[in-house]
Structures are given as C-alpha cells and as structure tokens.
Amino acid sequence: QVQLVESGGGLVQAGDSLRLSCGWTGRTGSVGGMAWFRQTPGKEREFVATTNWLGKRTRYSDSVKGRFTISRDNDARTLYLQMNALKPEDTGVYYCGASEGEAYDWRESEYSFWGQGTQVTVST
C-alpha cells in the first residue's frame, strides 16, 4: 500500500514563494505518475500539475503555467511543487496524488493514492 504525506504549506503574501513536498512510502515500483491537485471550500478538486515516473514529462493547468514547477526525486521518494508569484486565488488545500501506472494525467480518476493535503493561504 502506498502512503503519501504532504508538507510545506503555510500562510504567505501575494508574490511570495512556497515549495510543497510529498513523501511516499510503499513497495518499490508501486508509484508511477504523480500529480498535485488543489481544492477550495465548495469547489471540486482541481488539477494543478503532473509528472511522469522519470520526471521528464510535465503538464500544468493554465492558471499556474509559468509560475509553478513540479519535480520529483525518486531516490528520496519525494514529489515537489515549487510555487512562485503566488496569488490569492492559489489559496486552497493542496493534495498529492500517485498513479500505479505511467500516466501523467490531469484527470483525478487516474490516481489511486492520495495524501491528506496541506493548506496554502495567500493573502493580499
């Protein structure tokens, strides 16, 4: 069974940066593509960024493209999300998702495992 634990959230001002981390445990080879999603109260979880197993392929939502960077260190079993030029609309709970396959997909249904989330709050 794969377990994911996010960290790095916090309260920042608009224009600041944050780096989120997601550590995973489980059987070697059980984690393939991974992604970050976020959710605000009253809204569905939305796609932020994804990367494949090697970290060579990435996709981003239009709202974060050019400001956020997803990366991973498989030896350290950690997924990252570097968030720059943060805006108040980036506020939400950020979740890390992991797929058992190679998919690096924007669809939430492609990910079998999820962390508990970490809160990011961006003030004006």
- pLDDT at position 56 is 93
The series of mean pLDDT values per 10 residues for the chain, 124 residues long, is 96 98 88 95 94 94 98 96 97 96 89 96 96
- pLDDT at position 11 is 98
- pLDDT at position 76 is 94
- pLDDT at position 26 is 87
Which residues touch 104 (CB under 8 Å, ≥6 apart)? Answer: 33, 34, 35, 50, 51, 52, 57, 58, 59
